[in-house]
Structure 1
Amino acid sequence: MFAEIKVITAQRTEFVEITEPVKDIVEKSKVKDGVCFIYVPHTTAGVFINENADEDVATDIKNTLEKLIPWINGYKHIEGNAAAHIKSVLTGNNVAIPIKDGKLTLGRWQGIFFAEFDGGRTRKVYIKILEGV
Structure 2
Amino acid sequence: MEKMILKTNKRLECINITSRVVQLCQGKIEDGIILLYIPHTTAGIFINENTDPDVVTDFENTLSQIVKSDISYLHSEGNSDAHIKSSIIGSSVSIIVENGRIQLGRWQGIFFAEFDGPRTREVWCKFIPSI
Give yes or no for TM over 0.5: yes
Q: 1:18 aligned to 2:17?
A: yes
User: How does the TM-score come out when normalised to structure 1?
Assistant: 0.95
Matched positions, count: 131
Residue of structure 2 equivalent to 1:56? 54
Which ranges in structure 2 are unaligned for 5 or more consecutive residues?
A: none
Q: Is the 8 A contact 2:27 2:100 kept in 1?
A: no
- Structure 2: which amino acid aligns with 1:119? G
Residue of structure 2 equivalent to 1:96? 94
- Aligned-partner Cα distance in 2 for 1:132–1:60: 37
Residue 47 of structure 1 and its aligned partner are, at CA, apart by: 0.3
SS of structure 2 residue aligned to 1:28: coil
Residue 102 of structure 1 and its aligned partner are, at CA, apart by: 1.0
SS of structure 1 residue aligned to 2:45: strand
Residue of structure 2 equivalent to 1:42? 40
Which ranges in structure 1 are unaligned for 5 or more consecutive residues?
A: none
User: CA RMSD, aligned part only?
Assistant: 0.9
- Aligned-partner Cα distance in 2 for 1:25–1:11: 25
Q: Is the 8 A contact 1:48 1:112 kept in 2?
A: yes
User: How does the TM-score come out when normalised to structure 2?
Assistant: 0.97
Q: Is the 8 A contact 1:73 1:80 kept in 2?
A: no
